[in-house]
Amino acid sequence: MSFKKRIYNLLDEERGNQKGDGLVHYFISSLIIINVITLFLESYNDINKEYGDLFKFIELFSIIVFSIEYILRLWVADYAFAKAGPVKSRLKYMFSFMGIVDLLSILPFYLPYFISIDLRVIRVLRLFRLLRLFKLNRHSKALRLIVTVFKKTKSDILVTVFIVSFLLIMASTLMYDIENEAQPDAFANIGEALWWSVATLTTVGYGDIYPITGLGKLLSGIIALLGIGIVALPTGIISSAYIEEVQNRNKTIQCPHCGKPH
């Protein structure tokens, strides 16, 4: 086996069968989690003052590791996309979802060295470090299972989203027409009423905006009751699909003679 193929096997959790595969994936997964924890701890001034140098070292070390990983994945892309040519395979990786995530997770570190960027923009770009969480997808079978479930149920979820959106718009428009005259400040426009609709339909009920007319209270009660069922629909769809997918993956073929699983 060539050296390039060995590198591909180390990086590809599905096809790799070398002893070092597990170590590579556990190492990168741990590094991603450490990065996210570091990002949160940096927001505390006292902690950042005391451990700022350590956080900088972790970030620099992570950038080096993730940059090497990106270059290696680019190098072995012709194995991942075997049917495409050398150039097309690398372009496919670069513009794939995970390829974009890999690039965005390291890009904010390099940009200031090439172009002049305002410090406020740099602070925003630092949020791209959170995209490293998506990198866990390729290192975790559980996360890949969840992604598969979402792909299988996307049409059902989109239907639910459409129904919820339609209900929100209808409720907001009706509540605006009902409450605007009684509460011109609270329900000044449909946008304000939309905030009430979201809080009511999700049964959060912040209480900052609420109806005071009898008809408005009746509509509010109906929307709250509908929200209990409609908002729970995606949860039921995803849960059902998740259980089905787990059962399908755990299915084993039994020998008709001995009854043992194969």
User: Can you say whether residue 203 is alpha, beta or left, with left for phi > 0 and alpha for psi between -120 and 50 degrees?
Assistant: left
Q: Clarify whether residues 24 and 124 are in a common domain.
A: yes
pLDDT of residue 253: 47
* CA triple 111-112-116, angle to 5 deg: 115
The residue among 64 and 12 whose pLDDT is bigger is 64
Per-residue model confidence as pLDDT tens digits over 154-206: 888 888 888 888 888 999 999 999 998 899 888 888 888 899 888 888 877 77
Query: Closest by alpha carbon to 20, among 31, 32, 30, 11?
Result: 11
Percent with pLDDT over 70 in the chain: 81
Domain boundary among 77, 107, 139: 139
Task: Give the domain CATH number at 161.
Answer: 1.10.287.70
Q: Clarify whether residues 94 and 166 are in a common domain.
A: no
For the ranges 18-27, 37-46, 140-149, 252-261, the lowest mean pLDDT is seen at 252-261
Q: How confident is the model at residue 25 (pLDDT cuts 50, 70, 90)?
A: confident
Q: Clarify whether residues 39 and 164 are in a common domain.
A: no
Highest mean pLDDT: which range of 13-17, 93-97, 147-151: 93-97
Domain span including residue 45: 3-139
Per-residue model confidence as pLDDT tens digits over 69-96: 999 999 988 888 888 888 899 999 899 8
Q: Say if 45 falls within a structural domain.
A: yes
Q: Clarify whether residues 121 and 167 are in a common domain.
A: no
Task: Give the domain CATH number at 10.
Answer: 1.20.120.350
Q: Clarify whether residues 70 and 197 are in a common domain.
A: no
Helix axis angle, 45-75 to 86-94, nearest 10°: 160
Q: Say if 146 falls within a structural domain.
A: no
Q: Clarify whether residues 49 and 169 are in a common domain.
A: no
Decide if pLDDT at 260 tops 70: no
Q: Clarify whether residues 104 and 225 are in a common domain.
A: no
What's the domain count of the chain?
A: 2
Q: Say if 259 falls within a structural domain.
A: no
Highest mean pLDDT: which range of 6-15, 19-28, 82-91: 82-91
Burial 154-177 (b: 16+ CB within 10 A, else e): eebeeebeeebeebbeebbebbbe
SS3 254: strand
Q: Clarify whether residues 124 and 208 are in a common domain.
A: no
Q: Give 137's DSSP letter.
A: G
Q: Clarify whether residues 129 and 158 are in a common domain.
A: no
Q: Say if 164 falls within a structural domain.
A: yes
Decide if pLDDT at 19 tops 70: no
Q: Clarify whether residues 17 and 49 are in a common domain.
A: yes
